[in-house]
Amino acid sequence: MASKSNLSVVIDIGTSKLVALAGRATELGKMEILGMAKAPSKGIKRGVIFNLADVIESVTRVLELLDDQLEDEIDVVDVTYAGKQMKTLSYTASRFTGEGGVVSNFDIDELYNEAKNVELKSGYQILKVIPTSFIIDDEIEELKPVGVTGKKIEAHYKLVVIPENDLINLHRVFESVGVELGEVFHSSLAIAEAVLPKSEKEMGTVVLDMGAGTTNLAVYHENALVHTAVIPFAGEVITNDLKCGCATFLEKAELLKVKYGQALGDQIKNEDKVTIAKNNGWEPKEISIKSLAYIIQARLEEIVEIVNTEIEKSGVKDLLGTGIVVTGGTANLENIITLVKYHTGMDARKAHCIVHPINQKDEVKHPDLFTAVGALKLALTSMETPVRIFPESTRGNKTGKSIFPNFKGALQSAINFFDDGNEDLEFK
């Protein structure tokens, strides 16, 4: 969502870091990046807010860093989010066309409104309604049905839904910071905008984002979103495995993973060892790099098996013409593409950014920015045809250019929220 100055600001809310981008569309429709900032993320576990005060502090920090680079005031912020219980649901609506027997804009609006207003069980709320196809008279499939002759039109949608508690907590965070929460983008859909060309969405592709707290995927076929999933296991779990397997501190385990970690133990032909330095009086210890790799490989195989199950759930695995596009911090592990190929039976490649702003061209090539860049692209696009489906909330009072959160009020209202449930979601 844009502010009055046509400035769009997005924050990619991750488990390990926050990435903020500010930008606008030029007269020629190109993206211009006006500022970018990163800050460590606190208070997020497996993609879900569990400590409001910590998240408020992190968001405030990244917005202050961004604010220093901008001339315009930040008043609205769009976010990407990948809570472990975010889902996409399939929904079908149908109606008969008018007396003329021609599909009209009115027909499309009525079908869309039916999907937008469907009631959900289990405390979920619809974030976005995405049309995937339209069928005329039970046989003719159209992506742009207005003007097509026929007596009946059937619309197929994907509904992006979020737990109401997650959405309430997001509103609390941004109200405390003093800016308005704009649109909430599913992280998988945002990153797909940054790394998947239309041709690959048409042929059929999976985008797999292996982050710190969650592994997110989105399946596309015939240029339509088919399936999404948020898997609550990723890089942090691997780090914890190394901590236990190597009997070392968590910080040391993370360093071992980043500096020496590989995805396939069998690919390591030597017996090189790494020494964990003496700490707090504990004697140094040696660990073979091959042993590190086998610990990492075991967890990655488990994660990729779940990924494979989710791809099969999409119902189009055998129809996907390309393969899996892999990104995220965990994707930096050597030989991970080989592992993904082997355990899914699909081709795979590393992601690269296909969005080309008029400036900051080298910066957007860094994988850390992919999700935020995709979100900024979506935000700039939605300025023309915005879709906002949120409960209204009171905006925080904001005067002047600086951002000063009300930490006292935030601490008083902070709650811990972390739900391990994974109940099925249904329509009422």
- Is 9 a domain residue? yes
pTM listed for this prediction: 0.84
pLDDT at 427 (0 to 100)? 61
- Mind listing the pLDDT tens digit for each residue in 40-66? 999 999 889 999 999 999 999 999 999
Does 209 share its domain with 276?
yes
- pLDDT (0 to 100) of residue 383: 60
Measured between alpha carbons, how far is 218 from 309 in angstroms, rounded to an integer?
Answer: 13
Does one domain contain both 304 and 368?
Answer: no
Strands (DSSP E) contained in 151-242 are: 152-163, 180-186, 205-210, 215-221, 224-231
The answer to whether residues 358 and 403 belong to one domain is yes
Same domain membership, residue 55 and residue 181: yes
Domain of residue 398, CATH code = 3.30.420.40
122: CB partners within 8 A, 6+ apart: 423, 424, 425, 426
376 is a domain residue: yes
Residue 250 belongs to some domain of the structure: yes
Which residues of the chain are modeled with pLDDT < 70?
A: 1-5, 278-281, 383-428
Query: Do residues 11 and 19 make contact, with C-beta atoms less than 8 angstroms apart?
Result: yes
* Helix (H) or strand (E) segment spanning residue 52: helix 52-67
Residue 97 domain boundaries: 87-163
Same-domain pairing of 192 and 63: yes
Residues 80 and 103 in one domain: no
pLDDT at position 187, please? 94
What does the pLDDT read at residue 4? 44
Contact (Cβ atoms closer than 8 angstroms) between residue 76 and residue 2: yes
The pLDDT score that the predictor gives to residue 116 is 94
Residue 54 and residue 35 in one domain: yes
Task: Say yes or no: 332 and 312 in one domain.
Answer: yes
For the chain, the domain total comes to 3
**150 and 203 housed in the same domain:** no
